[in-house]
Homo-oligomer: A and B are copies of this chain.
Amino acid sequence: MGLEGLLPELEIIRKDFPILERTVAGGKRLVYLDSANTSQKPQVVIDTMVDHLENHNANIARAMHALGAESTEAFEGARDRVAAFLNAPSRDEVIFTKNASEALNLVASTLAFRGPLQLGEGDEILITEMEHHSNIVPWQMLAQRTGATLRWIGLTDDGRLDLSNLGELLNERTKVVAFTWVSNMLGTINPVSDLAARAKEVGALVVVDASQAAPQLPVDVVASGADFVVFTGHKVVGPTGIGVLWGHREVLDALPPFLGGGEMIATVTMAESTYAPIPHKFEAGTPPIVEAVGLGAAVDYLSAVGMDAIHRHEQTITRYALEGLASVPGTTVLGPLDAESRGGAISFEMQGVHPHDIAQVLDTQGIAVRAGHHCAKPAHARFGVQSSTRMSSYLYTRPDEIDALVEALNYTRAYFKVG
């Protein structure tokens, strides 16, 4: 287990995650290799949420009493933490949504509304073939609603963005370029700042889906060159029910509001309403308070471990896993084969056994992986596969868990009598 690059305090970190003590499948130790789907939660995140609910629970902003002040401070403090985590120039640019999907829909929906940034007939939206459905469907809807055209950056055979025709795809009609930082299916890490710079040359808005990046590498929104960066709480060891939209102040100011209601208004009369400045303009209703508090604890936890160290750990595990998978006959990995250009999610096929059946056998061994299209049907279609099996590691993953996976895959082959 002495792999170079693992987190030095791996055993201590594992102790922070209570669920890793669990046994499944009749007494087997849990081997959780589904972190790209959702991450497990450290005790400090859970305890912070419990403390909030047991001792400081109140509605925020509107409440003018001790608990209200404490709750508001905890909630707005979480905004500061997230702003720091992203290196955002201003805390006001951090909008809390319910998940990454809502954040992407917020941008796509409001671009259909009247305003200086409204899309129309003849405009183009450029996305890529490796996107998660949450970064596809909102743009399909936007195209339908506005008459704009949706265009696609294709993929190379080894699962990278095919930028050979970017000069043609990016043109003066391109109003939005949306792409993922790290692919949740292929694992590919995309050249974010290069692509953003190219998109800015034609004046397009750049939307980056950092749902898989924020958990495992340092995300600096300024260095990214993007106008919007999105991620989701439950993949960064935080709770469900919360996502983040970061956006440039000028762009956020220029967008009309998304949802209407309490807390997002300046004033409401029967004749008309006016809206609060960012971030509140985009936070209608009671926000996810205890979820933000949990997310604040989560990003602090990750920062304390260190995003660079986590990235190194992920790459180390990924390299080890790529080697392990290569040793299983009939197994093909989708996406780049070098650990340096990818994140910690590895999708693969095994000849003669369907992904569901693989996942099922693995489950009886206590190993949790994902099987299916991973909300990336176009990417699967691109590689001519209907579904795949995906293992995904995180900061708590140990090399012997990869060993267990490899062994179980060999067992699966034997069970289904293939090869």
> Which A residues contact B (CB, under 8 angstroms)?
18-19, 22, 24-25, 30, 32, 34, 37-38, 40-41, 45-46, 49-50, 53-59, 62-68, 98-102, 104-105, 108-109, 113, 129, 132-138, 140-141, 145, 152, 232, 234, 239-243, 257, 259-265, 267-270, 272-273, 284-291, 356, 359-360, 362-363, 366-372, 374-375, 377-378, 381
Tell me if B101 and A359 are in contact (CB < 8 A): no
**A59 surroundings in chain B (CB, below 8 A):** 34, 37-38, 234
**A381 surroundings in chain B (CB, below 8 A):** 269-270
Partner of A40, one of B22, B57, B241, B257: B57
Tell me if A259 and B58 are in contact (CB < 8 A): no
CA of A387 to CA of B240, assembled, Å:
35
Tell me if B34 and A68 are in contact (CB < 8 A): yes
**A40 surroundings in chain B (CB, below 8 A):** 57
**A113 surroundings in chain B (CB, below 8 A):** 145
Tell me if A240 and B99 are in contact (CB < 8 A): no
**A133 surroundings in chain B (CB, below 8 A):** 260-262, 265, 268, 273
Partner of A24, one of B66, B140, B257: B66
Tell me if B22 and A37 are in contact (CB < 8 A): no
> Could you say how many copies of this chain the assembly holds?
2
Partner of A41, one of B34, B57, B268: B57
**A269 surroundings in chain B (CB, below 8 A):** 377-378, 381
Smallest beta-carbon distance A50→chain B, Å: 6
CA of A234 to CA of B104, assembled, Å:
25
Tell me if A64 and B284 are in contact (CB < 8 A): no
**A38 surroundings in chain B (CB, below 8 A):** 57-59, 286
Task: Decide: A291 near B240, CB < 8 A? Known: A65-B34, A68-B34, A101-B284.
Answer: yes
Q: Which B residue's beta carbon lies closest to that of A101? A: B285
Task: Decide: A273 near B137, CB < 8 A? Known: A65-B368, A241-B290.
Answer: yes
CA of A37 to CA of B67, assembled, Å:
12
Partner of A58, one of B37, B108, B268, B378: B37
Tell me if A65 and B232 are in contact (CB < 8 A): no
CA of A262 to CA of B145, assembled, Å:
20
Q: Which B residue's beta carbon lies closest to that of A58? A: B38
Tell me if A291 and B241 are in contact (CB < 8 A): yes
CA of A259 to CA of B289, assembled, Å:
22
Tell me if A102 and B37 are in contact (CB < 8 A): no
CA of A381 to CA of B362, assembled, Å:
63
**A368 surroundings in chain B (CB, below 8 A):** 58, 63, 65-68
Smallest beta-carbon distance A176→chain B, Å: 15
Smallest beta-carbon distance A136→chain B, Å: 6
Tell me if A289 and B240 are in contact (CB < 8 A): yes
Q: Which B residue's beta carbon lies closest to that of A105? A: B259
Smallest beta-carbon distance A60→chain B, Å: 9
CA of A319 to CA of B310, assembled, Å:
59
Partner of A100, one of B32, B140, B257, B285: B285
**A360 surroundings in chain B (CB, below 8 A):** 64
Tell me if A363 and B286 are in contact (CB < 8 A): no
Which are the 5 A-B pairs with shortest beta-carbon distances?
A: A101-B285, A137-B260, A241-B241, A134-B261, A101-B261
Task: Decide: A241 near B25, CB < 8 A? Known: A30-B67, A64-B359.
Answer: no
Partner of A375, one of B262, B359, B378: B262
Tell me if B34 and A58 are in contact (CB < 8 A): yes
Tell me if B268 and A137 are in contact (CB < 8 A): yes
Tell me if B57 and A260 are in contact (CB < 8 A): no
Task: Decide: A260 near B140, CB < 8 A? Known: A232-B286, A363-B66.
Answer: yes
